[in-house]
Amino acid sequence: MSEKPRILLVTLSNIGDAVLTTPVLEALAGRWPERRIDLVADRRSAEIFTRAPWLGQIHYRDKRAGWRGLVRLIHSLRRRRYELAVDLRTEWLTLTLRARRRLMRPWGRRAPGHSVVQHFAVVAGPLGLGSPPDPRVWLDEALREEALRRLGPFAGRRVLALGPGANWSGKCWPPEYYARLPGSLEAEFDGVLLLGGPDDRARCRMVAAASPLPVLDLSGQTGLLQACALLEQAAVFVGNDSGLGHMAAAVGTPVVTLFGPGEPGRYHPWGSHCRHLVAPGRELARLPVEQVAAVVGEVAR
């Protein structure tokens, strides 16, 4: 028996952006539960999709490969005929493919509102869908067991997860403010979990050195799904406008995100369990520790 036609989704590159496309994936999987969904994704963020039960093949798009890499990608995609191809990234890629039906973002413009709403609008009207589901990241028991092992004595305790880094320093609440935050929340938490990439280690060391609470610093020591499994165990996550906040929200952990520059209305972590603060004058140095601690305390309770 021949394989059923698949669905293709062209998702986004950055980790947080990719997480915010998962409501579209969940809706497509719910509409066609018997179909595999192939992805065009970026190696920076593709790991977050790898435990999805409906996943077919991941095709990687690499901007650094130039037009030759793009030609190879199109050639690979054209080997399969798709039932539906959805493009959240460009206005043209699916036009080059063999697909019975194509949906893509509007030419030269984007829908108003949050990124989740913008992405979901591409499929909602044409497919007769309702409201978007919440973003999610798919975890398995092996990842959860590994997270509990790495947490050690922190497992089962009320842990405050912190992500002091971001993809550029202008989006970062000062590390000395993060260093003071645990001292304002000793009554709410039993320990602090620090997460981030290799470039965030210096910031995390500063926080760890000043914290009156026990600290587990795993910055630069996890993959994306490992970080998600650890975040799932946290009581609250506090971080900058970065992928970690979206990952935490996608595994159901309450999130407080701190915005300076950027577009909080479009990019805040999505869900009723998420809060965000915008710094006065969009200057993160003007966002006081006491204000952040008050909001975190409310969320923790």
Domain edges within the chain: 6-127, 142-300
- Asked whether residue 1 carries a pLDDT value surpassing 50, the answer given is no
- pLDDT confidence of residue 214: 97
**Residue 7's pLDDT band (boundaries 50, 70, 90)?**
very high
Q: Which CATH superfamily is domain 6-127 in?
A: Glycogen Phosphorylase B; (3.40.50.2000)
Written as one letter, the residue type at 8 is L
Percent of the chain topping pLDDT 90: 90
**DSSP state at residue 199:** G
244's tokens: 């970690």
| CA–CA distance, 277 with 288 (Å, rounded to integer) | 11
Q: What's the N-to-C CA distance of the chain in angstroms?
A: 55
pLDDT mean across residues, the chain: 94
pLDDT in tens, 231-244: 999 999 999 999 99
Q: How many helices (H) and strands (E) in the chain?
A: 11, 11
| CA–CA distance, 45 with 99 (Å, rounded to integer) | 25
| CA–CA distance, 235 with 78 (Å, rounded to integer) | 45
Please give the biggest Cα pair distance in the chain. Answer: 64
Q: What is the pTM of this model?
A: 0.95
- Asked whether residue 156 carries a pLDDT value surpassing 90, the answer given is yes
> Tokens 């320990």 correspond to what residue?
191
**For 110, left (φ over 0), alpha (ψ -120 to 50), or beta?**
beta
> Tokens 């190696």 correspond to what residue?
43
- Asked whether residue 137 carries a pLDDT value surpassing 80, the answer given is yes
Sheet strands (E) in the chain: 6-10, 37-41, 55-60, 82-87, 102-104, 159-163, 191-194, 215-217, 236-240, 255-259, 274-278
- Three-state DSSP class for residue 223: coil
Average pLDDT over residues 72-96: 93
Same fold, 6-127 and 142-300: yes
For residues 91 and 151, which has the higher predicted lDDT (pLDDT)?
151
The CATH class, in words, for 142-300 is alpha beta
pLDDT in tens, 184-199: 999 999 999 999 999 9
- Asked whether residue 112 carries a pLDDT value surpassing 90, the answer given is no
| CA–CA distance, 251 with 142 (Å, rounded to integer) | 16
